[in-house]
Structure 1
Amino acid sequence: MRILLKTIAAIAALSLPAIAGEEPRAIPAPSADISETGTATAIFAGGCFWGVQGVYQHVDGVISATSGYAGGSQADANYRTVSGGRTGHAEAVRIEYDPAKISYGELLQILFSVVHDPTQLNRQGPDTGTQYRSAIFPTSDAQAGAAKAYIC
């Protein structure tokens, strides 16, 4: 847990300075987590996928972070079409990770602590449109349960 908090602090230091009047908020660890073995996959959307990917590719335990699209038809999964905001896709990142080093719950904590502001509907900072919405795309029932427990 100490390593995770140091990671969150280091990643937060890389982001833009806080807006005047904003107070930093500590996001608690998840109340429920899951146990996985081998290599696992998480898929998160939180604004521009380059920013999301940039955070996760520096997290210890993350094997790879790959930008792409989730939520729409495979036929529409290209930058030009998705940029129009009418495909149902969100810019998302597929995160391959080692659960022996970092848990799904810890990845969620990073998502809510550093990656995005869930109060911004269909946007993150200057990026606006449904393709920049916040979303979690669970790859298992266990991930869906952990995400729901963390959000509620």
Structure 2
Amino acid sequence: MKLRAILLAAALSFSASACMEPAIAAETVVEAPQAKRIAQEGSGLKTAIFAGGCFWGVEGVFSHVKGVKSAVSGYHGGTERQADYKLVSSGVTDHAEAVKVVYDPKVIRYDQLLRIFFSVVTDPTQLNRQGPDTGAHYRNALVPLSAEQNAVAKAYLGQLKAAKLWDKPIVTKIERAQAFYDAETYHQDFMLKNPRHGYIVRWDSPKVRALKAMYPGVYSAKFQPN
């Protein structure tokens, strides 16, 4: 598992300017374990919210997962009046950049989404930052929208902490669900619209490639990343 993580992490060796902050260090990918607590969500589409740093990459990865019907970038944890990109990115609001994921649990379960999230989307040991981006609005957090999701999220975080896959402590929190506000139109499907953007090439396309390499059975080629 560790060797595979090292090989996949090599995909993060691109050099390009970051979106809002100078590049600091490459994020790594770690093959998280299968969840012991399997989500039992029944039929019908379900929704969950994930905060894992810049929402471009979070949305980009989940939009490539079979069974995901939509992945919308937005803001969670603050007020409607302050749900504005300039305000949120300044760090003066309580929002986190987040992605609202609508999925079919008959195709992809919540626990499987958690595995993908911790494997290739976010580094759960980084507090109030992710990759090159700093501030509480880039925190990594799980926002369950049902009692079942909450139970699965708690169990999986406990499982990851016991597994000790990372050298540092896991700081990912489970946040109480609050209003979710869609981000501005130009942020939606940002990877699809801007595949050669420096930040996308450096930080986000490698995550999609890692998804395809680690979990080919759930990978969906929405578009081909660089």
Find out whether 1:114 has 2:120 as its counterpart. yes
How big is each residue's C-alpha offset from its partner over 1:74-129, in whole Å with a ceiling of 9 and x where there is no partner? 22111011111121100000001011100000000001000010111111111111
Unaligned ranges ≥5, structure 1: 1-8
Distance across 2 between alignment mates of 1:106 and 1:115 = 13
**Following the alignment from structure 2 to structure 1, what is the Cα–Cα distance between the partners of residues 71 and 13?**
24
1:35 to 2:40 alignment: yes
Which protein has the larger Cα radius of gyration, Structure 1 or Structure 2?
Answer: 2
Pick closer, same or farther for the CA change 1:100–1:71 going to 2, 3 Å.
Answer: same
Q: Distance in 2 between matches of 1:23 and 1:68?
A: 24
How many aligned positions are there? 141
Structure 2 length as normaliser, TM-score?
Answer: 0.58
1:98 aligns with 104
Relative distance call for 1:98 and 1:24 in structure 2 (3 A) is closer
Structure 2: which 5+ runs fail to align?
15-24, 159-226
TM-score (ref. length: structure 1): 0.85
- Work out the CA distance in 1 between the residues paired with 2:140 and 2:119: 13
User: Aligned AA for 2:40?
Assistant: S
Deviations 1:11-56 (A, max 9, x none): x68x624979x98632101111222210000100000000100000
Question: Is residue 76 from structure 1 mapped to residue 82 from structure 2 by the alignment?
Answer: yes
Instruction: State the percentage of identical aligned residues.
Output: 56
Where do 1:6-45 residues align within 5 Å? Answer: 16-17=12-13, 25-36=30-41, 37-45=43-51
Once superposed, which parts of structure 1, at least 4 consecutive aligned residues long, lie more than 4 Å away? none
C-alpha RMSD over aligned residues: 2.4
- Code of the residue aligned with 1:101 in structure 2: it is V
Structure with greater proportional strand content = 1
In the alignment, the residues of structure 1 paired with residue 147 and residue 37 of structure 2 have an alpha-carbon distance, to the nearest angstrom, of: 13
